[in-house]
Structure 1
Amino acid sequence: MILPSASPLGWLLALATAAAYALAAALAPRTATGRGQLAIMAPAWTLHGAALVWGLLGSTPHFGFAAALSMTAWLVLTTYAVERQLFPQMRARWVLCALGGAAVLVAALFPGRPLHVSASPWLPLHLTLGIACYGLFAAAVVHAWLMSRAERQMRLAADSHSGMPLLTLERLTFRFVTAGFVLLSATLVAGWLFSEQLYGRAWLWDHKAVFSLLAWITFAVLLLGRSRFGWRGRSAVRVLYAGTALLLLAYVGSRFVMEVVLGRAA
């Protein structure tokens, strides 16, 4: 089975982006100010955005599971750039640079299938809602990981290296979860009501729909448990991880199986 690969320009952008992320990760510890660290990450962020645009609007537009992951990583990095302005003490550059570099290379290796020119004009909006939802939950997972690490280090009376108070991380985590849940709800409702206009067929209870609904239920239980029963800490983080894993299986997992394992369009 021969898998499609990115164009030469796509590979050039991907390699340049990965190199820029590696350089940003190497230089960031030598930069004292938050603005200085953002400045050295700006070229990588810009190149990453250019690689995404080329994949969607280039000579042969493609989209697939790897492109969705790359867009998610770019949105998480965008969120980090904004948060650095509000919380200069936040430190997660190594993880995010590695995430961005890996995602853009995977997207070049597996660019996905060509986009159909006959697709509904509303399909890009539906995909945008879905990708934004992925980005918000990915940001929540990053903050939950920082929160868990800070909690462990606090119990050991050591520096957490997160640079932010534990309660602030917890509030940010659930704000991202709430926003992601709203977008996930909108995405599911739009897919259910306008499936024929978007995809040319009625709503199907396939693996993508089932996993998406299971993820929605998991996040709903998490938010309800936090508001009614005060869920927090490890238990809440585990539910968040479970819901995010189900959401990944819904689109990224199913498209990976279709594109890579089975070698055909989803």
Structure 2
Amino acid sequence: MDLNIILYGVASIFYLLVGGKIVSTFKKRGDQAPMWSLPVIAAAVVAHFWVLQSNIFCAPETILVTFGNSVSAMCFFSTLILFFGALYSRVHALYGIILIVAGFGIWSPLLFPSEAQPIVGSTFGFRLHIAFGLLAYSFMLMSVVQAVLMGILDSRLKSHAALDEPEGIVASMPNLMTMEKILFRVILACWVVLSLTILTGMVSTAHYFDAILAFDHKTVLTILSWTVFGILLLGRKLLGWRSKKALTIFWIAVALQVIAFFAYRFVLDVLQ
């Protein structure tokens, strides 16, 4: 049996095992993830990294970026970031849900095979650009999950349902203000990494095409998303934007970022 298939299975089972265990602890306020979860996730991350790098860096100085590889990389980086975050602070609900997403997302390269041609002779700057882009999408995935959790908590609080809910995911969450702080920290991280993605993209474009920017749909939509995220952060800092207004702007930025790359790659790799 192919070693990569075995590693896919090991990482997927470990992700789902720990993610399911964390979700199952949504019983009482203050319940914690089990101590054994961290070494199990560490083993899953190592297995995931092995198959991911062999898929993307398929030959020396060659890189293969497909829809499947990108989804797998997004899940990998999200899991890795939250793994280190879990060492220092409580990321209970977010951690469990991301692990479950990663347990299925790791199979994306096999579920969505692509006939895309590898990019041969890629420079270090271009590989850095790809890495920053995938990292930005990882922060975006975490922010989406956090925004959904915050929306659930907000709606339950407005209906007073959470006050009578001693068990479940809402009971395990911190207060709404803490959830909001976490969301904006993740958005800030996404914006910073997206800035680095654009800068390294400009360097790579200058190297390959003797131009600072390639004005294709991906570049335009990425810059628009970066701008909207920036406006959201400024509005939060200077005008105190919160709740419905902030989330509306957030979802616009997310939609632009998803269309910029993932929707485009899905059409090229899966639908064609």
TM-score by length of 1: 0.83
Distance in 1 (alpha carbons) for counterparts of 2:226 and 2:95: 30
Which structure 1 segments of 5+ residues have no match? 1-6
**Given that residues 48 and 74 in structure 1 are in contact (C-alpha distance below 8 angstroms), is that contact kept between their aligned partners in structure 2?**
yes
**Given that residues 34 and 88 in structure 1 are in contact (C-alpha distance below 8 angstroms), is that contact kept between their aligned partners in structure 2?**
no
Measured on the aligned residues, the alpha-carbon RMSD in Å equals: 2.7
Distance in 1 (alpha carbons) for counterparts of 2:217 and 2:232: 22
Name 1:56's counterpart in structure 2: 56
- 3-state DSSP class of the match of 1:92? helix
- How far has the Cα of 1:201 moved from its partner? 6.1
**Given that residues 150 and 179 in structure 2 are in contact (C-alpha distance below 8 angstroms), is that contact kept between their aligned partners in structure 1?**
yes
Which structure 2 segments of 5+ residues have no match? 26-30
1:32-47 aligned at under 5 Å gives the runs 33-47=33-47
Q: Percent identical across equivalent pairs?
A: 25
2:144 aligned residue (136, 141, 160) = 141
Distance in 2 (alpha carbons) for counterparts of 1:163 and 1:34: 17
Distance in 1 (alpha carbons) for counterparts of 2:171 and 2:95: 11
Name 1:82's counterpart in structure 2: 84
**Given that residues 33 and 92 in structure 2 are in contact (C-alpha distance below 8 angstroms), is that contact kept between their aligned partners in structure 1?**
no
- How far has the Cα of 1:33 moved from its partner? 4.8
1:42-121 aligned at under 5 Å gives the runs 42-58=42-58, 62-88=64-90, 90-112=92-114, 113-121=116-124
Distance in 2 (alpha carbons) for counterparts of 1:107 and 1:240: 29
2:197 aligned residue (171, 187, 197) = 187
Name 1:3's counterpart in structure 2: none
Structure 1 residues 182-203: Cα deviation after superposition (integer angstroms, max 9, x where no partner): 2212322332354031x44643
**One-letter amino acid matched to 2:4:** G
Name 2:238's counterpart in structure 1: 228
**One-letter amino acid matched to 1:221:** I
Return structure 1 stretches of 4+ with deviation > 4 angstroms. Answer: 30-34, 58-61
Name 1:4's counterpart in structure 2: none
Structure 1 residues 173-231: Cα deviation after superposition (integer angstroms, max 9, x where no partner): 1112112212212322332354031x446432211112112211221221122122211
- How far has the Cα of 1:164 moved from its partner? 2.2
Name 1:125's counterpart in structure 2: 128
Q: 1:21 to 1:258 in 2, by over 3 A?
A: same
**One-letter amino acid matched to 2:181:** R
